[in-house]
Structure 1
Amino acid sequence: MTPDDPEETQPLLRPPDHSSVPRSRRGFLAAFAAALGPLSFGFALGYSSPAIPSLRRAVTPAPRLDDEAASWFGAVVTLGAAAGGVLGGWLLDRAGRKLSLLLCTVPFVLGFAVITGAQNVLMLLGGRLLTGLACGVASLVAPVYISEIAYPAVRGLLGSCVQLMVVIGILLAYLAGWVLEWRWLAVLGCVPPFLMLLLMCCMPETPRFLLTQHKRQEAMAALQFLWGSEQGWEEPPVGAEHQGFQLALLRHPGIYKPFLIGVSLMAFQQLSGVNAVMFYAETIFEEAKFKDSSLASIIVGVIQVLFTAVAALIMDRAGRRLLLTLSGVIMVFSASAFGTYFKLTQNRPGNSSHVDLLAPVSAQPVDASVGLAWLAVGSMCLFIAGFAVGWGPIPWLLMSEIFPLQVKGVATGVCVLTNWLMAFLVTKEFSSLMEVLRPYGAFWLASAFCIFSVLFTLFCVPETKGKTLEQITAHFEGR
């Protein structure tokens, strides 16, 4: 069938009717299969927190991390993920969404296998780099796959499950790290990508991608498999997918507006400082004099999972803009309060004036001010809850919604590259920033960025709740 075929120019499916959701539930299973990629990605992120203390205690001939190596062990995964974002953007349009997800399981399993058998620090870093590459591909492709198979009335719910699986993966790493040493923890990391490989083999390609390949019958079959109905879908504009990305396209508001919004959302997400908090959660709680920092990290993980789940459940009712704004305001106050804790305690006896987040904090006398200690713990928990409600899941969801087909691969690749490069800079330099600005200054700076993120949401981010992907594109084009 050619693009000029009259049948091809007819709407594939009826206009959306949000009053009902199709009866079949295989679409939810397909979304779960794709979300196992973000689960693996979360496990890889959370792996460093319990693994670094374990590797510090390692005895020869096992590899052992010093301060500098521990810093790179935590941060090198973000460099691999930045490269994975570029690779994922290239694969997205050429290999398709499904095959890209299948391919990303290879570096996940291979990376954790290299870590499991590591005999030196270079092998550890190489394994982390491979898992990071897989993280970059999964963090780009999974949201796109889910948004393109999702019925409009539940796209917010399913799209938010990407971040929910990420935080579940982080929590899983924390819980497993409580009982497993670093090698067995890496073995466990191979399980989610292997399960994703098995499930995704049984799932279809997205209908939108099949339509861009002029595979109309396969697209119809995919819709029937996923939802048992064709109701509520629109066909992408014919021929748009063949234009490809050209710099001249950036002159069009339908391209440059979502492009700037997507990149800015990813930058603000990392400038909030959340990745630095999660990578070194245990040592941050030790600095705050929490008695059991390992337990504290697990508490943080549970809070993330609970509030991300809440966000997923209310996303399609409350809308993206409201949750982003609420999330940003919560983070402003909680980051400011956490900075205030460090300001009030900086000159107290037993409080370290030299903050090194990569080294264990020495035993210090317990501060008599129990209230201040709980201010630190409460502020951190509130920050994590606020982030989980909005700025955790929504930037990834919006990234998968706002780009038109002809630039989706390149645009999402740039967004993911921005996210992971910012994650690397924040993670690698967070301890140095706390040295220069003092701990209170670092958290107050994060609070300032959160203020800018709220203003950006109010003035620049459109509401995409309940709209089809074609309606969102039409909004940016002024149609």
Structure 2
Amino acid sequence: MDIESERRRLLDAEGGDGDPTGLMSEQEAYLSKVKNRMLYLATFASVLGPMSFGFVLGYSSPAIPELARNADPRLRLDKDQASWFGSIVTVGAAAGGLLGGWMVEKIGRKLSLMLCSLPFVVGFIIIIAAQNVWMLYVGRAITGLASGVTSLVVPLYISEMAHERIRGMLGSCVQLMVVLGIMGVYLAGLFLDWRWLAICSSIPPTLLVACMCFMPETPRFLLLQGKRQEAKEALRFLRGEGAPVEWECSRIEDAYAEQSSSFQMSDLKDPGVYKPLVIGIMLMVFQQMSGINAIMFYAETIFEQAHFKKSDLASVIVGLIQVVFTAVAALIMDKAGRKVLLTISGAAMAMSATAFGVYFHLTPKPPSTTSLSLLMQNVQSQAGEGASADLAWLALTSMAIFISGFALGWGPIPWLVMSEIFPVKVRGFGTALCVLTNWSMAFVITKTFQNMMDALTSAGTFWLFASMCTLSVIFTLVLIPETKGKTLEQIEATFRGTSGP
């Protein structure tokens, strides 16, 4: 009996009645028998990592103003120190991306995720116990390292667990939990001082370790390690007892049999390797060059010019916008598709960034562009009071559209696509390069933002961001393949120019 006949027999034997009309494909017949309850549970456990990551990113916003006026001179931050306190996370995260790429290949996805929770907790403990500014830096760098590992491992873990029908929705939950973590720390910052806020921020990674103890390793990694029986047990846990998991197990094995067991540098000549690598890296470049950090830097000043006096509450509103539209993206991801959402997102950001440039061009004296002072939450607008008030509606509208557009596409989708497009033998290497690119670009743009303002003016800088968003739309339409509804093996076959399993 050949393998296709055996698969059909297993579908009927394990799944019950099967498809009496014969019109349903094997893939559809299999998915009709899958139950997603435990898959949802495993996804929830894993995305406690991105929530921890969100707490790290958001922590500096409420903590820096307090530390800037700290009564203890050993912990008091000046503007330059505050800048490093906020940005050193990106340095740690870039290193974490490289470390994560090695970890997922050597010890697996599950154990990598569990271990990365430790530097989250250790970093926050160092911050809590800090006696000088350098201890604050070290704590932030260590939590950044954990964030870099998490931003690589969790999308990979989810994409290798999930089936193609809901992989987009579950993969989008990574970014959703990041922005929920950011909003959560903003809310907690309304009531807690910086030390209690660090204690609060250590709760999600602690829960992550506890929950992941009961979750399986990904079936694909287990099969790659030759652990077939364990892979079947993992699939049975994730798909439900009634699903004919032997069929999915054999399908994955067939795809893996065509590859060498390990990645070699000579593989970079293979279009199935270099094409997804170029796409993944460029997605990360365009995400950071969209100007999202600049918009977030200006958010407080824009609210102040619109006479919204409670800037800490304004931060919560910005976070809420991100949460709502990221949730919308997650719900429609597997229906609308990645390309459509990236295109809409890029177009919305291009238009709103252009409008921002118009706002700064028309305002007699632009607001202070010192990102350090913005981070210190002590920005004093120098714009003509009447003119800036008249144009405040343009800035507020542009900011709302930009943040909504980013959350709908260019926020979650680069991480999702990164986890989908790489062949198994290059998955660790490829995702590590993408994460390194993302965090390196974030650091460079954050630290050179003031220089861009000085060289190009505020209006010119935002028009540059608008042009990059326009290029991202062209890049999406021309080069990015649609991955919705495809298995990871089918996506891989698309890049190789062959038909998938």
Give the TM-score taking structure 2 as reference length: 0.89
Is 2:272 the partner of 1:261? Answer: no
Distance 2:361 2:494 in 1: 46
Distance 1:178 1:50 in 2: 8
Distance 2:36 2:154 in 1: 21
Is the alpha carbon distance of 1:266 and 1:469 closer, same or farther for their aligned partners in structure 2, counting shifts above 3 Å? same
Q: What does 1:131-150 align with in structure 2 at a 5 Å threshold?
A: 131-150=143-162
Amino acid at match of 2:238: L
In structure 2, the residue matched to 1:291 is 309
Is the alpha carbon distance of 1:429 and 1:116 closer, same or farther for their aligned partners in structure 2, counting shifts above 3 Å? same
Residue by residue, what CA displacement relative to the aligned partner does 1:167-224 show, whole Å, maximum 9, x if unpaired? 1011111111122221111111100000111000100000000100111111111111
Question: Aligned-pair distance for 1:431?
Answer: 2.6
Question: Aligned-pair distance for 1:284?
Answer: 6.0
Q: Is the 8 A contact 1:44 1:132 kept in 2?
A: yes
**1:332 paired residue among 350, 356, 373:** 350
In structure 1, the residue matched to 2:174 is 162
Amino acid at match of 2:433: V
Question: Aligned-pair distance for 1:428?
Answer: 1.8
Q: Is the 8 A contact 1:267 1:422 kept in 2?
A: yes
Q: Is the 8 A contact 2:302 2:395 kept in 1?
A: no
**1:458 paired residue among 468, 474, 477:** 477
Q: Which stretch of structure 1 is more off in the superposition, 20-29 or 321-330?
A: 20-29
Q: Is the 8 A contact 2:301 2:379 kept in 1?
A: yes
Instruction: Structure 1: state its 5+ residue gaps.
Output: 1-5
In structure 2, the residue matched to 1:246 is 264
Q: What does 1:71-86 align with in structure 2 at a 5 Å threshold?
A: 71-86=83-98
Residue by residue, what CA displacement relative to the aligned partner does 1:364-416 show, whole Å, maximum 9, x if unpaired? 67436544112111111110000000000100000000000000000000000
Distance 1:241 1:102 in 2: 29
Distance 2:295 2:137 in 1: 21
Is 2:66 the partner of 1:54? Answer: yes
Report the aligned-residue RMSD. Answer: 2.3
Q: Is the 8 A contact 1:11 1:235 kept in 2?
A: no
**1:396 paired residue among 415, 422, 428:** 415
Amino acid at match of 1:356: T
Distance 2:113 2:65 in 1: 32
Distance 1:55 1:280 in 2: 21
Is the alpha carbon distance of 1:284 and 1:137 closer, same or farther for their aligned partners in structure 2, counting shifts above 3 Å? farther
Distance 2:434 2:354 in 1: 28
Distance 1:230 1:119 in 2: 58
Q: Is the 8 A contact 1:212 1:241 kept in 2?
A: no
Amino acid at match of 1:174: Y
Q: Is the 8 A contact 1:63 1:119 kept in 2?
A: yes
Amino acid at match of 2:220: R
Is 2:84 the partner of 1:67? Answer: no
Is 2:28 the partner of 1:17? Answer: yes
Question: Aligned-pair distance for 1:64?
Answer: 1.0
**1:219 paired residue among 224, 231, 245:** 231
Is 2:32 the partner of 1:32? Answer: no
Is the alpha carbon distance of 1:230 and 1:118 closer, same or farther for their aligned partners in structure 2, counting shifts above 3 Å? farther
Q: Is the 8 A contact 1:220 1:230 kept in 2?
A: no
Is the alpha carbon distance of 1:337 and 1:98 closer, same or farther for their aligned partners in structure 2, counting shifts above 3 Å? same
Q: Is the 8 A contact 2:101 2:152 kept in 1?
A: yes
Question: Aligned-pair distance for 1:240?
Answer: 5.7
Aligned length: 470
Q: Is the 8 A contact 2:305 2:388 kept in 1?
A: no
Residue by residue, what CA displacement relative to the aligned partner does 1:73-108 show, whole Å, maximum 9, x if unpaired? 111100000000000000011110000000100110
Is 2:252 the partner of 1:235? Answer: yes
Is 2:434 the partner of 1:415? Answer: yes
Distance 2:204 2:33 in 1: 29
Matched residue SS, 1:17: helix
In structure 1, the residue matched to 2:337 is 319
Distance 1:239 1:17 in 2: 24
Give the TM-score taking structure 1 as reference length: 0.93
Q: Which stretch of structure 1 is more off in the superposition, 386-395 or 232-241?
A: 232-241
Distance 1:266 1:369 in 2: 34
In structure 1, the residue matched to 2:195 is 183
Amino acid at match of 2:402: F
Percent identical among aligned pairs is 58
Question: Aligned-pair distance for 1:285?
Answer: 4.4
Distance 1:326 1:382 in 2: 11
Distance 1:66 1:283 in 2: 20
In structure 2, the residue matched to 1:301 is 319
Is 2:495 the partner of 1:476? Answer: yes
Question: Aligned-pair distance for 1:346?
Answer: 3.3
Distance 2:78 2:392 in 1: 29
Residue by residue, what CA displacement relative to the aligned partner does 1:306-349 show, whole Å, maximum 9, x if unpaired? 000000000000000000000000000111111211111134xx
Question: Aligned-pair distance for 1:277?
Answer: 3.4
In structure 1, the residue matched to 2:369 is 355
**2:403 paired residue among 384, 398, 422:** 384
Is 2:386 the partner of 1:367? Answer: yes
In structure 2, the residue matched to 1:3 is none
Distance 2:192 2:271 in 1: 52
Instruction: Structure 2: state its 5+ residue gaps.
Output: 12-25
Q: Which stretch of structure 1 is more off in the superposition, 328-337 or 43-52?
A: 43-52
**1:448 paired residue among 456, 462, 467:** 467
Matched residue SS, 1:60: coil
